[in-house]
Amino acid sequence: ADTLVAAVHRLISHADGARKLGVRTNADTGEDASRARRFGAEGIGLCRTEHMFLGDRRELVERLILADTEQEQEQALAALLPLQRGDFVEIFEAMDGQPVTVRLIDPPLHEFLPPLEELAVRVALAQERGQDPGRDKTLLAAVHRMHEQNPMLGLRGVRLGLVIPGLFDMQVRAIAEAAVERIKAGGDPKAEIMVPLVGAVQELETVRQEAEAVLKDVAERSGVDVPALIGTMIEVPRAALTAGQIAEAAEFFSFGTNDLTQMGWGFSRDDVEGAFFGRYLEQGIFGVSPFETIDADGIGRMVKIAVAEGRAARPDLKIGVCGEHGGDPESVHFFHHAGLDYVSCSPFRVPVARLEAGRAAGDASAADSR
């Protein structure tokens, strides 16, 4: 077994010598980041921040959602700030010296509230017993108010950041303050702040200006220069098609191929296999799900357009991919040929991504020399 492991290591090191693509990881905790580093990840390409609002922090998020006044909203955000700062300190520490792309909160806010049915039952039971349903009633009203038929196409990502004042600012402040803390402790944090679900440059520009003001404020207060890039996910088809405009406001792009596939095909990523795609596969209409391997003809075409337009507008634009496709062998080859700078995948897929990135580069040089 030892010789096999040694052989695999040799193969991967060989691939590392050849590959043009960087390989990062998707990680949301210091623990995941450390594990991925051991697998050879060269940074974090996607740190999803939404789990940081679950568990015992749910109550603070509920307070934020239910706030009637600006003051209540500010209090909830102020309580979340030190918790978020702690999250980022841990992650920067685990990925010291390597880039860490932190994505601002993405999913619909109502996901942080209890489900409608559960609340409705609790309220009905309390009323039947002649008790006051109290807070549950307020929560139920909020869930009703926020209900959407298609939440994945609704109030999430940048839209949420623009509608709930202070939410993104709080996260940016937490990132910046965590970076300052690490720098003061002798660390080397490399923060990249990523805005999700952008469809138009105006959305990104608004968030970018606010984020820059927060970064400046933290730098002035701490006396420490906070190095941070600001960029965007490209995961809404319109963003891919207007990438030239969007690049004016972005220092980097990261393709969210999960959403790009969902919106490009009009398939719900959560229902597709159960609903009908499983049968497509059974009938052999398709050999593989487009959520697994990038659909080069369609979704991939949007990727190529965005790379070309983005680089034409900003030649030094850094471009990566952080959807599930970033760890799929065939898709890694596609991203190599599309000229991306890096792929980002789950920690366990990092070795395979390194290997395939090396093979893709090797294939390309073999093809060039023919």
Asked if 331 contacts 323 with a C-beta cutoff of 8 angstroms, the reply is no
Enumerate residues 6+ apart whose C-beta is below 8 A from 133.
122, 123, 126, 127, 140
Which listed option, ligand PEP, Mg ion, none, makes contact with residue 323 (CB within 5 to 8 Å by class)?
ligand PEP
| Residues touching Mg ion, count (CB under 5 A) | 3
293 is a contact residue toward ligand PEP (CB under 6 A): no
User: Which residue, chain included where needed, has tokens 């979704």?
Assistant: 299
Stretch touching ligand PEP by CB under 6 A, among 2-10, 13-21, 120-128, 252-260: 252-260
Q: Has 257 been labeled as part of a binding site? A: yes
Which listed option, Mg ion, ligand PEP, none, makes contact with residue 46 (CB within 5 to 8 Å by class)?
ligand PEP
DSSP code at position 247: G
**181 Cα distance to chain centroid:** 23
Q: Has 256 been labeled as part of a binding site? A: yes
Which listed option, ligand PEP, Mg ion, none, makes contact with residue 75 (CB within 5 to 8 Å by class)?
none
Maximum Cα–Cα distance across the chain = 83
Query: Which of 42, 192, 235, 328 touches ligand PEP (CB under 6 A)?
Result: 235
Asked if 316 contacts 252 with a C-beta cutoff of 8 angstroms, the reply is no
Tell how strand 190-195 and strand 318-321 pair up. unpaired
Task: Report the Cα–Cα distance between both ends of the chain, in Å, rounded.
Answer: 38
257 is a contact residue toward ligand PEP (CB under 6 A): yes
Q: Has 150 been labeled as part of a binding site? A: no
46 is a contact residue toward ligand PEP (CB under 6 A): yes
Asked if 227 contacts 191 with a C-beta cutoff of 8 angstroms, the reply is yes
| Residues touching ligand PEP, count (CB under 6 A) | 10
Strand partners, 99: 190
| Shortest distance, position 9 Cβ to ligand PEP, whole Å | 29
d(CA 370, CA 361): 14
Query: Which of 48, 63, 159, 238 touches ligand PEP (CB under 6 A)?
Result: 48
Asked if 47 contacts 91 with a C-beta cutoff of 8 angstroms, the reply is yes
Q: Has 48 been labeled as part of a binding site? A: yes
Q: Is 322 a catalytic residue?
A: yes
Q: Has 138 been labeled as part of a binding site? A: no
d(CA 41, CA 346): 10
Which listed option, ligand PEP, Mg ion, none, makes contact with residue 295 (CB within 5 to 8 Å by class)?
none
User: Which residue, chain included where needed, has tokens 């996901």?
Assistant: 111
Query: Which of 170, 322, 332, 352 touches ligand PEP (CB under 6 A)?
Result: 322
d(CA 322, CA 304): 16
CA 288, 294, 295, 296 torsion: positive or negative?
Answer: negative
Q: Kindly report the backbone phi and psi dihedral angles of residue 108, in degrees, each rounded to the nearest multiple of 5, phi listed first.
A: -55, 135
Which listed option, Mg ion, ligand PEP, none, makes contact with residue 29 (CB within 5 to 8 Å by class)?
none
d(CA 45, CA 86): 20
323 is a contact residue toward ligand PEP (CB under 6 A): yes
Q: Which CB atom, from 179 or from 303, has the smaller least distance to Mg ion?
A: 303
200-239 footprint of Mg ion as x/- string (CB under 5 A): -----------------------------------x----
Query: Which of 177, 259, 328, 341 touches Mg ion (CB under 5 A)?
Result: 259
Amino acid at 162: L
258 is a contact residue toward ligand PEP (CB under 6 A): yes
Catalytic residue, candidates 119, 167, 198, 322: 322
Binding-site residues, in ranges, read 48, 103, 235, 256-259
Binding-site residues for substrate, in ranges, read 48, 103, 235, 256-259
Q: Can you give the binding site for Mg ion, defined by CB under 5 A? A: 235, 256, 259
Residues tagged active-site: 322
Q: Can you give the binding site for ligand PEP, defined by CB under 6 A? A: 46, 48, 106, 235, 256-259, 322-323
Binding-site residues for Mg(2+), in ranges, read 235, 259
